[in-house]
């Protein structure tokens, strides 16, 4: 058996997603930055300023419960400055967000790869923040959380083209496994979603391996 000593272990928080999800309708003129970052479905490319997009918003909190720092997969010189959000993104794919058909498990919305500015937002008692969202050093320390509230830009899936019905929300962290972890079997949260066309009910969120 391989030793797992000295590796991080990311775990997304299913309850955080479940209690904080909601629907928001937003006009395109408030989504120009998000459009530049490819956070919207491709149908938004032809939308006018006063056309609205329907966004399934949800928060995300990821804990490093391993014994080593989770560090960006990209070397410092290749981090990307995002002029819209005014910070450096150190990973192209920290998370992937998807809405799936409940029967076929096929995507029904254009999920997007969320690039992140990794930092220790908060830590468990006895642990200390060591990383911030800077141009010099980013990461997630053991015992600490990287937290994204539902109201920040791109913390959503564009479901404008999705019909009312029952679906699955799938959130995957470190999706390409570019950063080694001691356990990849806790990197996914799946939730039951009931979308009425005007509101959303999210339930049954749980951590899974796929």
- Asked whether residue 22 carries a pLDDT value surpassing 80, the answer given is yes
DSSP string over 62-92: EEE-SSS-B--SS-GGG-EEETTTTEEE-EE
Average pLDDT over residues 7-15: 98
Q: What confidence score (pLDDT) does residue 15 get?
A: 98
The percent of residues above 70 in pLDDT, for the chain, comes to 88
Please state the pTM of the whole predicted model.
0.91
Assess contact for 124 and 144: CB atoms under 8 A: yes
Q: What confidence score (pLDDT) does residue 87 get?
A: 59
Q: What confidence score (pLDDT) does residue 2 get?
A: 45
* CA atoms of 60 and 21, how far apart (whole Å): 10
Q: What confidence score (pLDDT) does residue 37 get?
A: 81
Sheet containing 52-57: order of strands: 22-27, 52-57, 156-158
């Amino acid at each position: 058996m391989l030793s797992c000593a000295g590796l991080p272990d990311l775990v997304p928080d299913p309850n955080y997603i479940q209690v904080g999800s909601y629907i928001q309708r937003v006009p395109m003129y408030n989504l120009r930055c998000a459009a530049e970052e490819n956070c919207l479905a491709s149908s938004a490319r032809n939308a006018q300023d006063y056309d609205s997009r329907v966004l399934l918003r949800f928060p995300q909190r990821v804990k490093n419960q391993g014994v080593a720092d989770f560090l960006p997969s990209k070397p410092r010189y290749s981090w990307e400055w995002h002029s819209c959000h005014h910070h450096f993104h150190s990973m192209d794919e920290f998370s992937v967000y998807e809405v799936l058909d409940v029967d076929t498990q096929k995507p029904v919305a254009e999920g997007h790869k969320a690039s992140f500015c990794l930092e220790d937002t908060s830590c468990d008692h006895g642990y200390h923040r060591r990383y911030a969202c800077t141009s010099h050093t980013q990461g997630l320390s053991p015992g600490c959380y990287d937290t994204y509230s539902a109201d920040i830009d791109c913390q959503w899936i564009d479901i404008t083209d999705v019909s009312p019905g029952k679906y699955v929300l799938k959130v995957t962290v470190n999706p390409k496994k570019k950063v080694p972890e001691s356990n990849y079997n806790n990197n996914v949260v799946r939730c039951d979603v009931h979308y009425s066309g005007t509101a959303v009910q999210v339930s049954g969120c749980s951590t899974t391996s796929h």
